[in-house]
Structure formats: structure tokens, C-alpha cells
Amino acid sequence: EVKLLESGGGLVQPGGSMRLSCAASGFTFTDFYMYWIRQPAGKAPEWLGFIRNKANGYTTEYNPSVKGRFTISRDNTQNMLYLQMNTLRAEDTATYYCARSSLYWGQGVMVTVSS
């Protein structure tokens, strides 16, 4: 059974940093692209980016809205996906999801950027 479990969310001040983690299980982690998506309360999801699989060199793609501030990485020995978020703004407040393709999403973790 595919499982994705995000962690690391919470309250952070504007300008601060936060790293989200996603523990993956139930599939061969290195075979799959992994995604981060966020969703502000009451709004549509926003795709943040992905990191490719082993066959495609684990390269990354980002939404221009977060490129340069957010970094996606993976630890293939631990089956972990990460989202490093820097210079956070109030508009980054959202529920953050990791996903394996479109089909499998985690339950999400909330990030609140506020002073």
C-alpha cells in the first residue's frame, strides 16, 4: 500500500525558513517522480514542483512562483522527500502535500506564516 506522510509544518515568522519532510512507503521510491503541491484554505491547489526519478537523474522543476525560494530534494536511502522553504511570506500559508504522481497524495501538513 502506498503511503505518504508529511511532517514539519507549523508556525513560522515572515522571512523565516522551514523544511517539510515526506516519508514514503509501499513502492520503489527511486522509480517515481515526487511532487509538492500546496493549497491555501478555501482555494485551489497550486503545483510547486517535482523531482524526477532515478532514470531521469533526480532533476527538479519548479513553479516560477516559488523558484529560487523553495528547493525540493530526496533521500533515496531513507525514502524521504523534502521541501526546503526560505524567505517565507504570508501568502505561503497553506496546507502542503507531497504526492506520487497524480494518484497518491499525503494527508497534508499546515504551514502558517505569521508574526
Partner 1 sequence: DIVMTQTPSSQAVSAGEKVTMSCKSSQSLLYSENKKNYLAWYQQKPGQSPKLLISWASTRESGVPDRFIGSGSGTDFTLTISSVQAEDLAVYYCEQYYDTPFTFGSGTKLEIK
Q: Which residue ranges make up the site for partner 1 (CB under 8 A)?
A: 43-47, 49, 61-65, 97, 102-103, 105-108
d(CA 103, CA 112): 26
The least distance separating partner 1 from the CB of residue 77, rounded to whole angstroms, comes to 27
42 vs 77, beta carbon nearer partner 1: 42
Quote the least distance from Cβ 59 to partner 1, whole Å.
12
- Secondary structure (DSSP) of 26-69: SS-GGGS-EEEEEE-TTS--EEEEEE--GGGTT-EEE-TTTBTT
Cβ at position 24, least distance to partner 1 in Å: 15
CB-wise, 62 or 82, nearer to partner 1? 62
Residue 43: alpha-carbon gap to chain centroid: 18
Report in angstroms how near the CB of residue 13 gets to partner 1 at its nearest.
27
**Residue closer to partner 1 (CB basis): 95 or 113:** 95
Q: Is the Cα torsion angle 6, 8, 12, 16 positive or negative in sign?
A: negative
Task: Kindly tell me which of 29 and 96 has the beta carbon lying closer to partner 1.
Answer: 96
* C-alpha–C-alpha distance, residues 38 and 45, integer Å: 6
